[in-house]
Structure 1
Amino acid sequence: MASISSLGIGSGLDLSGLLDDLESAEQEKLTPIVSQQQSYKTKLSAFGTLESSLTALRDAATKLSDPETFTAVTSSMTGDAVTASTTGDAVAGRYQVEVSQLAQAESMASKAFDSKSDDLGISGTLTLSVGDGASVDIDYAEGDSLEDIRDAINAADAGATAAIVNDGNGYRLTLTSDATGTDSTMSLSGDTAAFGDTATPGFSTTVDAQDAKLTVNGISITSQSNTVEEALQGVTFNLTSTTESAETLTVSKDTESMTEAVEAFVKAYNSFQSTADNLTSYDSESDTAGTLLGNSTMRSIESRLRSVLSYSDSEGAFSMLSDLGIERQLDGTLEIDDDKLSDAITNDSDAVSQFFSGADGESGLVASIDDTMGSILDDGGLLQTATDGIDTTLSSLDDRYTRMQESIDATVARYRTQFASLDSLVSQMNSTSDYLTQQFDALSA
């Protein structure tokens, strides 16, 4: 008998539609697995959000243990002749600065030549040294131009730079020390005569090397450079011109940046608290719960952070966060008493620093927070344990899904085979019925 290529054609029954309905019913077996997968993926995402907020809190706390956070200073300078930059070592105060001379590099120049690129027709060796540096020989030969000699000097890396200047009468080869100050005076010897005229053979000095000279609160200071470091502890002066009158440098504690560091920590903690509240919330009206409501890992994290905020330093001037004006509120967030914090930072920033980082710079509240965060965020911590467990469960659910899908596919295939047999059988019976009907009709006729 010929096979039936489409269900229902032979029998006239809607076997294809019935098979689709049965397949849809079988697919419903996957729904609980998919729901579980989605639930665990949502938890995994929630732990990722939680990890981000905890990492931000850890970073903000670490900033409070930075030695420069509570030793930061700010500075201002009157006038335009001098600028100043400071480090945490700078001592607060007012300083009078006067500049009588800027440091400059020595320069030399040859006589004027008619061309910079034509053969000069001279040969010899120039011996150049700068300051206490070793002497360097620069050879030049007939056929070399002024440009060739310039390039040879620059390639020698002797501590001076050669250039060509057109003074209107011709091209002059110039040499300039790479560094300023009298310690970088140039010495040029050898076959130099050809670079001068009869009256003044060799190179002539066009700019004398000189040191910078300034006074700070009346104390004379000499510097090889216009960048003057450590003339004043923690201060670097950059000299741009001489002064007509004294300019004033004012150095003071940078209480603003100190306050901002504390505020950033409080903000980061409150952000974590907000994240935790959202993940563990419950809305009775809509009967919806946060993703991590009742989760043991979430409860443990919240408990550990509440505990670490109760840190107490019995040796310092400030023993608790509340002494700095940072109070825990009923909703779990932190709130700052601006006046109290400002008073603490302004009058005893060292003690504030000790509370956060300890007398040794490696203990204090920040160290306690870091230890707690390590138990949560580091390898083997609470979050990794929780997420590894979720990953294992998701892998198991994937296997279950695959096995169930294979079972459904096998069941639907069995139905299809059975329906095909049914379709053929009904088709055969219909053919037999039609044949018998025809025979009976023939007999009646």
Structure 2
Amino acid sequence: MASISSLGIGSGLDLNGLLNQLNEAERGKLEPIKQQIETQQVKISAYGELKGALSGFQSANETLNDASLFQSLSASASGNAVQAAAGPEASPGQYAIEVEQLATAGSLATQRVNDLDTVLNDADATLDLTFTDDSLDHGVAIAADSTLEDVRDAINADSDAAVTASIVNDGEGYRLAVMSQETGEQAAVVDANFADLVTQTTLEDEAVLQDGQDAMLEVNGIAVSNASNQLDDAIQGVTLSLQGTGNSTLTVEQDAEAVQQAVVDFVETYNELKETADKLTAYNGEDGQAGDLIGDSAVRSIESRLRSDLASVVSVGDEHTMLADLGMTLRVDGTLELDEVKLETALAEGPGEVGAFFAGEAATDGMAGRLDTTLEQLLDTNGALEGAIGGAENRIDSLNDRYTRTEQSIDNTIARYQKQFGQLDGMLAQMNQTSAYLSQQLSSLPGQNGEGGGMF
């Protein structure tokens, strides 16, 4: 409310200050509504924090509900000759690998040129590159008056050349060196008509050729050759990367480490969820501070349903029926504790049984499947959490409407006060004028100022 500076001038009273005080007192009615709105906003933020922790646990649980996790294999190789990776089509087993030679790319270094600035040809020409596989043969266009660097650049700019060109200084001059882009005998460059292309200078020495070769190895005594040092089909489902000559023993086995890490993530994200819920519902008696969701029914419902699923018995599989069989137990405070040694033992003895416990035979059979159903319901738009958020948002809308109505009522009340104060100011001003007039008239009556003809 804007103050009226002229209010009270007529009466001499501080009616403007009084009106401002009344306005502040009336607007105090808005503070409880503001506080209630802030409380609901804090709740929505807290629900969002809880939702984030719940989604994190859902992601970790979905990993355990994927049956392929328990069928994944890992490949490890001894020695430095081979590195390997197992794919979904691999089978457990052990393989003796002997790498006899690595695949190399063929290369050709041309005759020597004394000076890089020497012009090689006086007319347009073609540098013919010849390969073991004649389907790769290609001619590179060389412009007239090209230097060795110009020839190099022309080769590298030709996407069909199948070689990479560079210049090598052998201590006595410069050579154009071309190397096949692919390894193996068939992709090797074996000749170039460089000497025929050069017309303006005398070449020295001879071209230097290094043959390309295929990789040669034995897998369990079976000879294998390959144009590349990466073999995708020598062992079904296994990719071999040859690193050097020598012997290696390759072992393909169940990837227990991936499963164990998934279980660790499951436990950690559940505990983070529990700690978040505890923080939001805690009460600190020392300082009287209460969590933002203390006593909230949605949080209690979420905790109750998850605890019920975790403590339940799974009927799929013969070996493991409860989390405790895999080293996971619920502590008194509601968090999970993991015995990693017990989990490792269970995975070593029967990874399939561990998979059956978590993933089951169908998507909802195992422990993870059961939890996944619960989590989807909790996070659904019609679930307890979204319902609580929606309820808080509706309360904010209602409180905002109430705030607006109250504010309008206050404005109307102050406007009424202002009108009444204006009337009062006018009335008092008129009374003051009347009083002044009467005082003046009385003072002018005979005998009021000590003058006149008296007896003395």
Structure having the higher Rg: 2
Matched, 1:45 2:60: no
Residue correspondence of structure 1 range 14-413 to structure 2 within 5 A:
14-66=14-66, 67-68=68-69, 71=72, 73=74, 75=76, 77-78=78-79, 80-85=80-85, 96-122=96-122, 123-128=124-129, 130=131, 131=133, 133-158=135-160, 159-186=162-189, 188=191, 193-194=196-197, 204-232=207-235, 235-243=238-246, 246-248=247-249, 255-281=256-282, 290-309=291-310, 310=312, 312-359=314-361, 364-413=366-415
Task: Give the root-mean-square deviation of aligned CA atoms.
Answer: 3.5
- Separation of aligned partners in 1, 2:116 and 2:268: 67
Please say if residues 110 and 195 of structure 1, whose CA atoms lie closer than 8 Å, have aligned partners that are also in contact. Answer: no
- Residue 170 and residue 285 in structure 1: after superposition, are their counterparts in 2 closer, same or farther (change >3 A)? closer
Question: How far apart are 1:126 and its partner, in Å?
Answer: 3.1
In the TM superposition, what whole-angstrom CA distance separates every residue of 1:42-89 from its partner, at most 9, and x where no partner exists?
2212211210111111111122235346635373633x4544455576
Q: Aligned partners of 1:142 and 1:268: how far apart in 2?
A: 70
Is the 1:195–1:201 contact (alpha carbons within 8 Å) kept by the matching residues of 2? no
1:331-355 per-residue CA deviation (whole Å, 9 max, x = no partner) reads 4332334443222012112221222
Assess if the C-alpha contact under 8 Å between 1:72 and 1:258 holds in 2.
no
| 8 Å Cα contact 1:111/1:196 also seen in 2 | no
Please state how far the C-alpha of 1:10 moved relative to its aligned partner: 3.2
CA displacement 1:247-302 (0-9 Å, x = unmatched):
55566655444333212212222222233334444567887764444544334323
Report the AA paired with residue 53 of structure 1.
A
Preserved contact between residue 91 and residue 237 of structure 2 (Cα < 8 Å): yes
- TM-score under structure 2 normalisation? 0.82
Secondary structure of the corresponding residue to residue 112 of structure 2 = strand
Unaligned runs of 5+ residues in structure 1 are none
Q: Secondary structure at the match of 1:111?
A: coil
Bigger Cα displacement from structure 2, 342-351 vs 109-118: 109-118
Per-residue CA distance 1:80-124 (angstroms, 9 max, x = gap) = 454445557666666554433222100112212234344322443
Give the superposition deviation at 1:164.
2.0
For residue 28 of structure 2, what is the amino acid of its counterpart?
E
- Determine the C-alpha separation between the residues in 2 that align with 1:14 and 1:427: 13
C-alpha contact (below 8 Å) 2:167/2:176 kept by paired residues = yes
CA–CA distance in 1 between the matches of 2:432 and 2:84? 106
Structure 2: give runs of 5+ residues left out of the alignment. Answer: 450-456
Opposite residue 128 of structure 1, the aligned amino acid is L
Aligned equivalents of 1:117, 1:94: Cα separation in 2: 59
Q: 1:415 corresponds to which residue?
A: 417
Q: Are positions 1:11 and 2:14 aligned together? A: no
**Residues in 2 aligned to 1:197 and 1:177: alpha-carbon distance in whole angstroms:** 28
Number of aligned residue pairs: give it.
439
Q: TM-score, normalised by structure 1?
A: 0.84
Give the percent of matched residue pairs that are identical in Structure 1 and Structure 2: 42
Cα separation, 2, equivalents of 1:427 and 1:74: 102
